[in-house]
Chain A
Amino acid sequence: MPESLIEASQLCVRRPGGLVLDNVSLALNERDFITLIGPNGAGKSVLLRHLLKLETPDSGSVTHRQGLRIGYVPERFQIDPTMPMPVERFLSLNNRLSARQIEELAAETHCDSLLDRPLAALSGGELQRVLLARALTSEPQVLMLDEPAQNLDVSGQLQFYKLIDALYEKRQLSVLMVSHDLHMVMNSTRQVVCLYHHICCSGAPESVARDPEFIQMFGDEMAQMMAVYQHSHAHDHTHDHDHAHLHEIKP
């Protein structure tokens, strides 16, 4: 068993309102594609920030594999409009990428036509692609995205998720993503982790959709919808309900 890229063990995070993360353990291995779901205020972003080591937990630990590079797409990004910042300059900030490398990166993330535009003038979808390009500037092994498609329309969401899929395959990445778009998440046979302060359930979408805790959280209707999605789309039903341990699931 190779060493995990990121391993969180027994994370507890306390905030004035109570425990935000309650004994959360999670491992991200090579080529994993984990989607973190859960209701608002469940602690998804907090977990992501701890996995990035941006914050220190009250107890528990996060270990990164030696030399790990993570590309991060934050949930909120709003540049002050008084800052004149063309996309090309933004992508070259604080790194040593050549103009050529920037162009290649932009082409890969469909930002080629945006390079001369000011960051403050981009649409939601354009900005997300630029942030994705920015996350890739460090040649990361892991891509972490916090609700990357929340401000996009449905076709924009679809395109963005397709782009992440393509990057996942082409760059042999591991991906950890927080998402609200249940229909998109459940429609793919990947690992889903359902968080509500603690990890309620995890595994392949179809098994998560059948989990009592998931049904309780998202309602019967949603769970049934997920099940329908799965039955009409999934080709691989070998994975049974998997509660505590996350292992690699074949696409």
Chain B
Amino acid sequence: MMAPTLITMLALALLAGPLGCFVVWRRMAYFGDGLAHSALLGVAIGLIAGISNQIGMILMAIAFASTLLWLRAQRLLATDTLLGILAHAALSLGVVAMALLGFEDAEVHDYLLGSLENISRDSLLYVVLGCGVSLGLLMRLWPGLLLMTSSEELAHAEGVPIRVYEFLLMCLLGIVVAAAVQIVGILLITSLLIIPASTARLIAGNPETMAIGGSIIAALCMLSGLPLAAAFALPLGPAIVTLTVALFLIVLSARLIAQRLRLIN
């Protein structure tokens, strides 16, 4: 049965569109990468603690975001540097932990690049529940998040609790990472957030169309990547991301040509 995989993809696409926009607008690409890198350690922790992979990854993501925010508040090192330290520490620890737990290289490889293996009904529940709650939360936070992304100071002055919002945004990204690991794999999660949102940016005139456009593009690429990967025995993650890049290039060329022909500004 492919149904659980398809449902996971749709749920993931719904979140990846709007969250990808924030990653692009707030320049959180490296943060997303770091968060994804910590997922492997989350899997290991989940296994040791006897909880599900997804919960392990989400807890790990929250720990990652909290540590980063705390270290950043100490103002000792640049955020960029802190992220580099945390991301690679988490990735190395994750791979070491997986090795100690007796995982085969092939299994670790699946986590890194995604796999075609059917997603179990058990994890499907977590994914759908997690994405549903996240989407609800995101819609509630949306106006405040947009305002603080336009100007943190204005949002603060207008009473938006910016530190709480920032933390919640990071947690939401953690949930996307947990949902996306099985599909595109740890190494390519950020691209699933950034590339569809950037493609949508080329045609969108306001934040909402960019978010929805991102979701539609992510869904299209995942749904068409699945049969493609199956037919040609390709790794799923790279197949999907290749499609997103192809679509990005098509839209980009169309836009540049339209600009050249002065059809748009």
Contacts and interface: CB of A to CB of B under 8 A. Distances in A.
A80 B201 CA distance: 12
B152 to A, nearest CB: 9
A138 B150 contact: no
The 3 closest A-B pairs by CB, nearest first: A72-B157, A94-B143, A74-B153
Q: Which of A70, A77, A93 has the most CB of B within 10 A?
A: A93
B153 A93 contact: no
Contact of B143 (A72, A79, A93, A119): A93
B31 to A, nearest CB: 15
Interface stretch (A32-40, A83-91, A234-242): A83-91
B25 interface: yes
Contacts of B210: 84
B205 A80 contact: no
Given A82-B201, A93-B146, A77 B154 contact: yes
10 contacts: A76-B153, A83-B25, A83-B207, A84-B205, A86-B205, A86-B206, A93-B143, A93-B150, A94-B143, A94-B146
Contacts of B68: none
Contacts of B26: 80
B224 interface: no
B160 interface: yes
A54 interface: yes
B248 to A, nearest CB: 14
Given A54-B157, A94-B143, A94-B160, A80 B149 contact: yes
B157 A84 contact: no
Instruction: Give the interface SS of chain A, mostly helix, strand, loop or mixed.
Output: loop
Contacts of A93: 143, 146-147, 150
B142 to A, nearest CB: 9
Interface string B8-37: 000000000000000011110000000000
Contacts of A94: 143-144, 146-147, 155, 158, 160
A200 to B, nearest CB: 27
Contacts of B252: none
Nearest to A72: B157
B151 interface: yes
B93 interface: no
A74 B154 contact: yes
A54 B147 contact: no
Contact of A82 (B24, B146, B153, B154): B24
A138 B201 CA distance: 30
Interface string A56-98: 0000000000000010101011011011111001100110000
A119 B205 contact: no
Give the interface residue-count category, chain B.
20 to 34
A84 B21 CA distance: 10
B243 to A, nearest CB: 22
A114 interface: no
Interface of A: 52, 54, 70, 72, 74, 76-77, 79-80, 82-86, 89-90, 93-94, 118-119, 134, 138
B156 A85 contact: no
B211 to A, nearest CB: 10
Nearest to B22: A83
Given A89-B207, A93-B143, A82 B25 contact: yes
A246 to B, nearest CB: 23
Contacts of A70: 157
A70 B143 CA distance: 19
B204 interface: yes
Contacts of B150: 77, 79, 83, 85, 90, 93, 119
Contact of B206 (A52, A54, A84, A138): A84
Given A83-B207, A84-B204, A93-B146, A74 B157 contact: yes
A138 B156 CA distance: 14
A77 B155 CA distance: 12
Contacts of A54: 153, 156-157
A72 B207 contact: no
A89 B206 contact: yes
Given A77-B150, A85-B150, 9 more contacts: A72-B157, A77-B154, A80-B25, A82-B201, A83-B207, A84-B206, A84-B209, A85-B207, A86-B206
A83 B154 contact: no
Nearest to B27: A80
B158 A138 contact: yes
A138 B146 CA distance: 17
Interface in B168-218: 198, 201, 204-207, 209-210
